[in-house]
Amino acid sequence: MDSVKTLVRTLESGKKYSDFIFAFVFILIILMMVIPLPPFVVDFFLSCNITLAVLTLLSTSYVTNPLQFSVFPSLLLFATLFRLALNVSTTRLILLHGYAGKLIEAFGHFVVGGNYVVGFIIFLILVIIQFVVITNGANRIAEVAARFTLDAMPGKQMSIDADLNAGLIDENEAKRRRREIERQAEFYGAMDGASKFVRGDAIAGLIITLINFLGGVIVGSMQRGLSMNEALQTYALLTVGDGLVAQIPALLISTASGLIVTRAASEDNLGKDLAREITRTPRVLMIAAFLLLVLGLLPGLPKIPFFLLSLGLAGFSYLRSRAKVEEAAASVEKTPEIEELPRSVEDIAQMIEVDPIELEVGYGLIPLVDPQSGGGLLRRITQMRVNLAREKGFVVPPIRVRDNLHLQPNEYVIKIRGVEVARGEILPNHYLAIHPESREVKIEGIPTKEPAFQLPAYWVNETRREKAEMMGFTLVDPESVLITHLSEVVKKHAHELITRQDVRLLLEQVKKTNQAVVEELIPSLMTVGEVQKVLQYLLMEGVSIRDLPMILEVLADYAPQSKNIEDLTEMVRRRLGRMIVRQYITGDGKLHALALDASLEQKILGVIEGRETIDPERFRKVLQGVSSGIEYLVNAGYFPLLVVTGKIRRGFRDLISGYLPQVVVLAFEEVPRDVEIKIERVVRSE
């Protein structure tokens, strides 16, 4: 018992120095080709070679995934080199001494009965089996596996990136999966090359055996004084023994290489998989038992083997049928149990789960998504989420990207919570040409509209790119067009994407640096849901909520006075006025905008407060006046901006948003005192 423990400790300590041991073994293999070895050392190394082959074959049968034995291609090269070094050593002993150790002698006399003709035939059969059947098959499988693995990499990479963008996996899991895909490609590529060593080893074994035979006969008859018959008997047996000792481990290694490249990922080892899958259907076993029984009844054929096999298969078929009945009965008994229900409910819940944002693309746009094809769309989506987080102040939910065969090849669809909100079409290998000044400028290309802002544009190919730039067009690549459209859609629907859970996480983040304001506001003055509504109102009009501590302070100041969410939102806007107005100030430092006539403002205030009504015709004229003024501002290079008093800002914005959604409505109270407002036009109701 103590000796076993000592051996185990020795092996464990040997793992620490495995790199030195492996380097020493490689040096030893090289020395074997140069330095003569005594027969007993050759016997030991031949035994090691057989042991290595058996261990390799058994190891491949127990792996459940080829990557569990990822060192196999290198091991194949090592085993081949070791075997060739042994061939050199045994050849030297055979030709010099006519004796190469007890192992080769045993194979020459006992295994083939001392008959070198039979030995040569067995040796040739082994070489044919290895070279023609196993090696060729393993080589072909390795080539096909390597090609299919490389072809499947883009789809697998895209699936990983889609899961990462959807939030189903984290960055570490995505890295692990990518590395596993890379390892698969490297493994099958290495196996494709390593299988050539097995093929070459089979040819080398045949040539070495022929050389040993001819060289042994020449040495025995011409140098050692043996007769031709004695030389044939002695050296032929040694050559056959040497060939068998080398080819049997080579055959095992070749079988292992074929086994590992044909091994698909599984949860069990090869033995359990074979037993389970071959005996899966009892009816197949019963049919096979009947056929064996018929063969046993035919005259001239041996009856006992067929009858025994038929009886065994019939019995096993009966046992498997009984087992299936018991499994079915057990499953029926378990069906009504309540403890099984949650699993089904979870499965159903996963099926009906709605993604916050989805991007579906036609098959023609898949190269833009696939990193292996040079597509950078997924990376740019991640960057877009980062930019929007900095700009808007909340984390945009993961965006699930998937292909949709029902779309046109170059079409894409953007969905918010499962509902389509935007659709567009882009042309890969083209550029979108947009003229910044005149819509009348034309260029040779495919007319279209820029999907985000509906500007007239043209799709032009690479050959017309330079001409378009010379004509003053702005050229945008397809990925940027899609990302811009996606970004604008997310901004437009940001208020639909921020959830109570998001708000709670934002509050927890603020609490780390501004604990007092959070504890003062939540939950004594406002609930998380009420804070969420305020943030949604702000995002709905494109106001960033990045300065959340300031927003919470305003709410804490005014929440005791009013519980009206719209009034609280207006107070927040006034406090954030400088940030809101900053983006609309032009290069001259002024705010160019439209304004409403004082009488019109009073009329609208009465409508908002319910004291007056406005007839449709008068309201239509107001809309026309605002639309005409906005067109004037845009043509002059200014933002579509309307400034009104704070009392009507929210109400007037709600009135016109359905007709003129692009108009930004600001309150005079929101504009800082040091910012000059230049009223370009005044809108009147008459």
Higher pLDDT, 563 or 295: 563
DSSP 483-502: HHHHHHHHHHTHHHH--HHH
Task: Answer yes or no: is 548 within a domain.
Answer: yes
CATH number at residue 413: 3.40.30.60
Same domain? For 71 and 152 the reply is: yes
Structural domain boundaries, residue 540: 498-575
Task: Answer yes or no: is 74 within a domain.
Answer: yes
Query: Prior bond to 523 cis, omega within 30?
Result: yes
Residues 481 and 432 sit within 8 Å (Cβ to Cβ): yes
Give mean pLDDT, residues 675-680.
Answer: 88
Tokens for 471?
């004509």
**First-to-last C-alpha distance (Å) of the chain:** 109
Task: Answer yes or no: is 337 within a domain.
Answer: no
156-165, 324-333, 583-592: least confident range: 324-333
Which domain-ending residue is among 493, 520, 539? Answer: 493
23-37, 410-424, 628-642: least confident range: 23-37
Which domain-ending residue is among 522, 556, 575? Answer: 575
Same domain? For 557 and 446 the reply is: no
Higher pLDDT, 430 or 263: 430
Same domain? For 524 and 651 the reply is: no
Same domain? For 77 and 181 the reply is: yes
Instruction: Give yes or no for residue 553 having a pLDDT over 80.
Output: yes
**pLDDT for residue 346:** 53
* Number of separate domains in the chain: 5
Which domain-ending residue is among 473, 493, 513? Answer: 493
Same domain? For 29 and 148 the reply is: yes
Give mean pLDDT, residues 259-288.
Answer: 65
What distance in Å separates the CA atoms of residue 261 and residue 264, rounded to the nearest whole number? Answer: 8
What distance in Å separates the CA atoms of residue 671 and residue 664, rounded to the nearest whole number? Answer: 13
**pLDDT for residue 442:** 75
Tokens for 157?
């990479």
**pLDDT for residue 439:** 56
Residues 59 and 255 sit within 8 Å (Cβ to Cβ): no
Higher pLDDT, 154 or 382: 382
**pLDDT for residue 533:** 92
Instruction: Give yes or no for residue 336 having a pLDDT over 50.
Output: no
Tokens for 255?
């079988």
Q: How confident is the model at residue 413 (pLDDT cuts 50, 70, 90)?
A: very high
Consecutive H or E run containing 665: strand 664-667
Same domain? For 627 and 528 the reply is: no
Consecutive H or E run containing 415: strand 411-416
pTM: 0.51
Same domain? For 684 and 566 the reply is: no
Same domain? For 525 and 505 the reply is: yes
**pLDDT for residue 324:** 63
Same domain? For 584 and 571 the reply is: no
Same domain? For 91 and 154 the reply is: yes
**pLDDT for residue 338:** 38
Tens of pLDDT, residues 109-139 = 665 565 667 766 777 777 777 666 666 666 6
Same domain? For 532 and 625 the reply is: no
CATH number at residue 615: 3.40.50.12790
What distance in Å separates the CA atoms of residue 613 and residue 610, rounded to the nearest whole number? Answer: 7
CATH number at residue 517: 1.10.8.540
Task: Answer yes or no: is 529 within a domain.
Answer: yes
Percent pLDDT > 70 in the chain is 74
Task: Answer yes or no: is 349 within a domain.
Answer: no
Same domain? For 320 and 304 the reply is: yes
Instruction: Give yes or no for residue 335 having a pLDDT over 60.
Output: no
**pLDDT for residue 429:** 85
Instruction: Give yes or no for residue 382 having a pLDDT over 80.
Output: yes
Task: Answer yes or no: is 40 within a domain.
Answer: yes
Instruction: Give yes or no for residue 228 having a pLDDT over 80.
Output: no
Task: Answer yes or no: is 120 within a domain.
Answer: yes
Give mean pLDDT, residues 514-531.
Answer: 88
Tens of pLDDT, residues 602-614 = 888 888 877 877 7
Task: Answer yes or no: is 378 within a domain.
Answer: yes
Tens of pLDDT, residues 239-253 = 777 777 777 777 777
Residues 414 and 358 sit within 8 Å (Cβ to Cβ): yes
